[in-house]
Chains A and B, each alone.
Chain A
């Protein structure tokens, strides 16, 4: 095809790069084994770090004797709480905007009371890994074991064992009030009331926590680490008593995060060890250590009472949610707020009452994980919907269709949905995609199918006043540089920014280089959490690139003696829209701009909507920028003799707004669905009185290739998201509603319901016997 014709065609087809499925820019290096992950880095004279962890979930530390460890040849640093300049800092949530209300104690090393098993007590750096391990074992800690409390409901009772020193076990309580819920129940013909329970879940990223730190020649403590939040540099600096700008964090490509690398993991330990030893230090967790020491998804107890009229219209919903925060607060209040706002699901309910609590126990601490409090409540409210449907002789789809929220309707919190709401079509399409029902292969086999819908926010809570910055520049040859402090989890966070810049500046993907995740060199873009990077940093990059484009076109208009609005950027050329043979190579325009002193670079900041704090006594107010809507469908078979569940079909249907890279969107939908399938069927961090029993990947089971079927994706594009080009976020929404779809399918097959995850064969057999 001649170049001229190609240009004309692409001018007519809308987008040049956005919306085209393509490999992520970084995929090639990963497939060739060239990508360096945190543990792959070596430094001259590097030491190896090791953490001494508590063997009790609840105990007083009476004394710590490090003398033997310090005397061991090859040991270069031993650190306990007394050596840490600021061992305790209090986090007021929100990197850029102090919200107040909740304070999370961040304690680097335990020194008086141990609050969970695996809590860090001492740090060692030594010349080899073996010496570091030996040294840790030489540290003598005298404990006075304490009774502890391991059940959040027990922990809430007066007189319960106190997990912390001063703070009460109940961290916080949220309420949502919409009308008089008892009136709603009096107007209901059918009321279903059930209690649901979900376990601790581990993120089980394949790369454990890891990093390398050193003091650079300018005295800056530099930490190269696998993290979702490079902006923890501030907290690390505060622990060390340094100015924020004297700590630099460089993020590596992350071998999976899912929220587990959102809180600080190894960063502070590394900074302390390198600061004390004056040498580079590496610290990588073993798998056992990772499972013991990093955050978990919260277990919840959820009491739900849902009422509807005989024709299936929801009238009232009452929920009580209790989450187990484990030993420290971390992000538990915010996770709970997500659950509280999300407790009603995507349904229009006139009378609502929600009370929620998050409670300290002596279990491993809980914090962020994909879905952030929403998968828990989705399991409960979607189970309730099917129970109501059964009582009312309606199909699961019918009852949902009568109650879905629509654009213009308000949540129980008063928030009006001001963007397109993709119900009921996600549900209709997901269910239809299951096709003809499979036939049982034996008399013991029962087949069932289920659906579940979810609404999941993307972008951080609006009272956190979230921002992101991105830099875009053009070089003399027309190549483009993007600098943006995003952390890349493998979801295409960096690559999608390249696509956006390529689109706006009319260059192919290979002309774009994106630099990410360096607090010293890339404009800060906030966390890779909350499904926010495409929305926030995508918009920031779009804004930065557009301003560069304006300057370019202004100059080109003069060069081509035409109006700026008549010009388009295509295939490294500035082209007159109506007569593509009138064009100038991009590089020539750049050179002309350079000669005239026209700056072809721009740092843009994107601000999310800023709102005031929501009223925690009524839940009224806006919490989130926008939502992604979707439905999962599943078909399963259950063997009634063994209780074994076999997955036959899985469908994910989401309105993604606009798929910037359809290949990446599919990747999220497929991966999220399978992760949620693990939640439904097998994943369970088992703790017995605070002691983790599942400390390996042969005990903590996640889906293998043999446990799953191919997920069918249905990607809807309403174009009505608040991200760039109308995109919405999909990272978290993709996993939220699959577990209840599977549970509803099992119930459809057996006619009995299991109320606690995961649905192990034992539980199924037990439930069958009981019925």
Chain B
């Protein structure tokens, strides 16, 4: 099958990968670039656990073709913050108990980050709307919303 060389600026570093035309961004991120923090919950854009920031917006990487990302910037959870340089959202999620099984967490924090990038003082309803494409089966969402709102209110960004 014909392959193409793509270059993606993943979490601030340019990376190269050989991809086929039908390969999705999540496949390349997880299987070829080692970004296993991006989770696959459905492969159909229903659950949001594969969300990444692409072109400044949170998108489902399972619905994005790898070729679309050629020459573009992609930010995953690890690009938002690390153990050495944690992002306030990561700290807030942990401290509020917004992380249970943790499988939705990567996509959730990505959606929250994309929201706060555009709207630094969202209302609770705006937060609900922003994460409505991210399914969580453990928490009931309250602590997730609290975690995001707390970062916004405290202007911890």
Contact = CB atoms under 8 A, between A and B. Distances in A.
Interface of A: 21, 23-24, 26-28, 30-37, 39-40, 203-208, 253-258, 284, 286-287, 489-492, 663-664, 666-667, 670-675, 696-698, 702-706, 708, 710-711
Nearest to A678: B137
B60 interface: no
A670 B140 contact: yes
A239 B135 CA distance: 36
7 contacts: A21-B97, A27-B97, A36-B36, A40-B36, A206-B103, A207-B39, A705-B145
Interface string B36-65: 110111111011010000000000000000
B85 to A, nearest CB: 10
Given A666-B143, A671-B139, A706 B93 contact: no
A306 to B, nearest CB: 31
A34 B99 CA distance: 13
Contacts of B106: 33
B72 interface: no
B67 interface: no
B138 A256 contact: yes
Given A204-B135, A205-B103, 19 more contacts: A24-B99, A24-B100, A30-B105, A31-B94, A31-B105, A32-B77, A32-B86, A33-B37, A33-B76, A206-B39, A207-B41, A255-B39, A255-B101, A256-B137, A490-B102, A670-B140, A697-B47, A705-B134, A705-B141
Contacts of A34: 37, 83
B143 A206 contact: no
Contacts of A667: 97, 100, 138-139, 143
A28 B82 CA distance: 10
Interface string B12-41: 000000000000000000100000110111
Contact of B140 (A208, A253, A671, A706): A671
Given A702-B135, A706-B128, A706-B129, A23 B94 contact: yes
B101 A254 contact: yes
Contacts of B41: 206-208, 255, 287, 697
B131 interface: yes
A32 B139 contact: no
A105 B57 CA distance: 50
Contacts of B36: 33, 36, 39-40
B141 A206 contact: no
B101 A31 contact: no
Contacts of B133: 704
A649 to B, nearest CB: 13
Contacts of A36: 36
From B41, B49, B105, B142, name the one whose CB has the most chain A CB atoms within 10 angstroms: B142
B99 A27 contact: yes
Nearest to A490: B101
Nearest to B127: A705
Given A27-B102, A670-B142, A708-B141, A206 B136 contact: yes
A256 B101 contact: yes
A33 B109 CA distance: 10
B78 interface: yes
B143 A702 contact: no
A31 B44 contact: no
Given A30-B102, A206-B104, A673 B47 contact: no
Contacts of A705: 127-129, 131-132, 134, 136, 141, 144-145
From A33, A663, A666, A696, name the one whose CB has the most chain B CB atoms within 10 angstroms: A33
B3 interface: no
Contacts of B82: 32
A28 B131 CA distance: 21
B138 A671 contact: yes
A27 B103 CA distance: 11
A708 B42 contact: no
B40 to A, nearest CB: 7
B122 interface: no
Given A27-B99, A32-B82, A705-B145, A206 B135 contact: yes
From B49, B77, B97, name the one whose CB has the most chain A CB atoms within 10 angstroms: B97
Contacts of B136: 206, 705
From A204, A491, A705, name the one whose CB has the most chain B CB atoms within 10 angstroms: A705
A697 B40 contact: no
Contacts of A40: 30, 36
A254 B42 CA distance: 16
A257 B100 CA distance: 12
A628 to B, nearest CB: 18
A673 B144 CA distance: 15
B123 interface: no
Contact of B99 (A30, A284, A489): A30
B95 interface: yes
A30 B101 CA distance: 8
A206 B47 contact: yes
Contacts of A255: 39, 41, 101-103
From B44, B81, B102, B106, name the one whose CB has the most chain A CB atoms within 10 angstroms: B102
Contacts of B90: 31-32
A675 B90 CA distance: 25
B149 to A, nearest CB: 11
Nearest to A41: B36
Contact of A206 (B44, B93, B129, B137): B137
A253 B131 CA distance: 24
A631 B134 CA distance: 29
A712 to B, nearest CB: 9
Contact of B43 (A286, A706, A708): A286
Contacts of B137: 203-206, 256, 258, 671, 675, 702
Nearest to B44: A696
Contact of A207 (B77, B86, B101, B139): B101
B135 A27 contact: no
A674 B140 contact: yes
Contacts of A256: 101, 103, 137-138
B82 to A, nearest CB: 6
B104 to A, nearest CB: 5
Contact of A490 (B76, B81, B138): B138
Nearest to B92: A31
B101 A697 contact: no
Contacts of A32: 77-78, 81-83, 86, 90
A253 B139 contact: no
Nearest to A699: B46
Contacts of A674: 139-141
Contact of B102 (A35, A664, A702): A35
A37 B99 contact: no
B83 A670 contact: no
Contacts of B102: 26-27, 30-31, 35, 253, 255, 490
Contacts of B129: 705-706
Contact of B132 (A205, A206, A208, A704): A704
A209 to B, nearest CB: 12
B145 A670 contact: no
From A28, A204, A206, name the one whose CB has the most chain B CB atoms within 10 angstroms: A206
B39 A697 contact: no
A704 B135 contact: yes
Q: 5 tightest A-B contacts by CB?
A: A33-B37, A490-B101, A30-B102, A255-B103, A674-B140
A697 B97 contact: no
Contacts of B47: 206, 287, 697
